[in-house]
Amino acid sequence: MGIIGLKELRQNMDSYISRVKRGNSFVVMKKSQVIFKIVPFDQEESWETVIDFTKLKKGGVDIQDLLARL
């Protein structure tokens, strides 16, 4: 796992994106403090469908209607 500065990441974003796609991970630091970690996306840990609103109503449910009911 590499350590990079936030400024370095911003200036070379495309390069780091390519490296993460190849499996590399990085810890991003700013002013000697850890800010976040960048790791490759694990396809096996993909999002779980909680509810499929298209099964409730063809075309889905209007977000405003959904929020009004919460």
10-residue mean pLDDT profile of the chain (70 residues): values are 95 96 95 95 73 76 82
**pTM for this model (two decimals):** 0.60
1-40 CATH choice from 3.40.1620, 3.30.1360, 1.10.3470, 3.40.50: 3.40.1620
pLDDT digit string (tens) for 58-69? Answer: 777 788 887 888
Q: Domain extents for the chain?
A: 1-40
CA distances from 44 to 40, 41, 61 (A): 12, 9, 28
Tokens 């400024």 appear where? 7
In degrees rounded to 5, what are phi and psi of residue 13?
-55, -45
